[in-house]
Structure 1
């Protein structure tokens, strides 16, 4: 049943709007938009059409919001059981599931229309595939049935990287898929660090997250493995693909070193929730700064400065060799 027997509990229109806004889980969306924007800047060699950027980010926001609304409807039973989610609009009775469903469909349709008209059909279809994958594969098939839920389901969170590239080029290149792979490999350490902190909530509602089923030691070992993978993969944008340069490489190495250090510390202390919290928070900062590095590295002025610096270094080396 999509309906709920609890009447909406609002005093005014502003509270209604707030409840619908909360349905979209807005804190999750900015990170998805950052990967979209980074992908667009890289695809456009640092010269993105401002209107296309705006439309793609708005369309991506609507698609992500739609997916989160559908997720809230599907998970309303476990949201009611978990203390941290009990006050969400549907389990608290502020919004009926029927109304939320119409809201989610409306957001999805608006996203598809906007991206089709102002970007291209491939971009719109990729955004819709993100909704389908998140709901059909992750939420329905994986989340409640396998410890690998977040690994496979992580593909949904990586799709925005493809959306951004397709919006600029109308196709998907190896660079786009490598960006997808970076986000895909980053997701398990990011989410499992959170799962370590709230494993009791997941255990209470029977969600087989890795810390619940296999314990902290196995989880921190998996976090370490995926962190070991994501750091070198992030450097493949420099070699062999050659789509990023020295500045991005320096940023990626610095950020990756800190990521590895925190994952190693957690591996040595699997039951330390403060270390898990630190890793979780840093993983967000890591992705934000890595994407910022992609953007800055792609700018024409960065290319010019790098070329100028390279010429001066070569001239200095040549002068020294003549001494």
Structure 2
């Protein structure tokens, strides 16, 4: 069981399900079915688990070259390629079928997420530093899936959730790459911190995306979708994250990148959770 949890990248899958659930909650009408939310969470989690397993199958050789990933089930030999393929296909199909039966639009968004993650982002990691931008698109899809599952359509506010998650991913993944430069070089991944030897372009992009998150994260409140509670929390959280980005951009050290990474994994749940709580306060 633990092997398949590792293969599923359980923490990332949980994050995807959480953001899909919050997208559902924010879009849900006054009267909604709890069972529909559970199916949305289950479908998104199955999709995330399957795509993670298939991604690791495609990157088995590269994972074996990196200290941070060589202990994963496939490169360590604890699970066979056939088992990983079977699990990945079964989980992905389960997620796609569940979400499609729940709401066709949600299923279509899920299919786009799976295809773009496996067949665009994954191969581009070996070819261009732009892969992070491409990968941030499927990574930001779960709130749209959740919103679509609740309403059967996408509004401007749904795309705003997408935008927050999209922008957040860029400093988050740049921080991971900056913390593991030698690993990424060994694997042949052309992430920006790997090809940007002096770190100037990486620093500029970290600052750009952290700065952009400040006004974008406040838009739900300034646009009337959320209230004062969310506005205050988002302002404090986004400025704190920006401050961490400024420190990282100046230092350009592995330690600073790790600090930014930990800041990012605190920031996103904080923003999405306060946005969900704000709906409770407003109602």
The TM-score range, normalised by the shorter chain, is: over 0.9
Counterpart CA distance in 1 for 2:29 and 2:232 is 19
Q: What is the aligned partner in structure 2 of residue 234 from structure 1? A: 217
Deviation at 1:46, TM superposition (A): 7.3
In structure 1, how many angstroms separate the alpha carbons of the residues matched to 2:121 and 2:25? 29
Is 1:108–1:128's contact at 8 Å kept on the other side of the alignment? no
1:294 Cα shift? 1.0
Q: Which residue of 2 aligns with 1:168?
A: 150
Give yes or no for the alignment of 1:282 onto 2:266. Answer: no
Partners of 1:246 and 1:185 in 2: CA distance: 23
**Count of aligned pairs:** 282
Paired with 1:209 and 1:48, the residues of 2 have a C-alpha distance of: 43
| C-alpha separation in 2, matches of 1:265 and 1:48 | 44
4+ residue runs of structure 1 moved beyond 4 angstroms? 45-48
Q: Which residue of 2 aligns with 1:134?
A: 117
Match of 2:3 in 1: 19
What is residue 48 of structure 2 aligned with on the other side? 64
Distance 2:175 2:182 in 1: 14
> Which residue matches 1:50?
34
Distance across 1 between alignment mates of 2:131 and 2:60? 18
Task: Tell me the secondary structure at the aligned position of residue 236 of structure 1.
Answer: helix
Question: Matches of 2:31 and 2:221 in 1, distance apart?
Answer: 19
Counterpart of 1:123 (choices 96, 99, 106) is 106
Q: 1:47: Cα distance to partner?
A: 6.4
8 Å contact from structure 1 (residues 45, 298) kept in 2: no
Give the TM-score normalised by structure 2. Answer: 0.95
Matched, 1:291 2:272: yes
Offset of residue 99 of structure 1: 2.2
1:112 aligns with 2:96: yes
* Shift in Å, 1:285: 0.9
Stretch of structure 1 that moved more, 52-61 or 122-131: 122-131
Contact preservation (8 Å) 1:237, 1:244: yes
CA contact (8 A) 1:43 1:168 kept: yes
Gaps of at least 5 residues in structure 2 are none
Which piece of structure 1 moves more, 38-47 or 173-182? Answer: 38-47
Aligned residue among 66, 69, 83 for 1:85: 69
Deviates more, 1:44-53 or 1:65-74: 44-53
Task: Give 3-state SS (helix, strand or coil) of 1:286's partner.
Answer: helix
Q: Which residue of 1 aligns with 2:227?
A: 245
**Residue from 174, 177, 185 that aligns with 1:192:** 174
Show CA shifts across 1:12-69 (max 9, x none): xxxxx32222111112112212211221121126765321111101110000011101
Secondary structure at the counterpart of residue 89 of structure 1: coil
Q: CA deviation at 1:257?
A: 0.9
Q: Distance in 2 between matches of 1:152 and 1:47?
A: 37
TM-aligned CA distance change 1:98 to 1:250, over 3 Å:
same
Q: Over residues 85-144 of structure 1, what are the superposed CA-to-partner deviations in whole Å (9 max), with x where a residue is unaligned?
A: 112111122222122112111111111222233x2111122112211110011002x111
The structure that has the greater radius of gyration is 1
* Secondary structure of the corresponding residue to residue 87 of structure 1: coil
Give 3-state SS (helix, strand or coil) of 1:85's partner: coil
* Contact map agreement 1:63 1:128 (CA 8 A) in 2: no
C-alpha distance in structure 1 between counterparts of 2:9 and 2:152, whole Å: 29
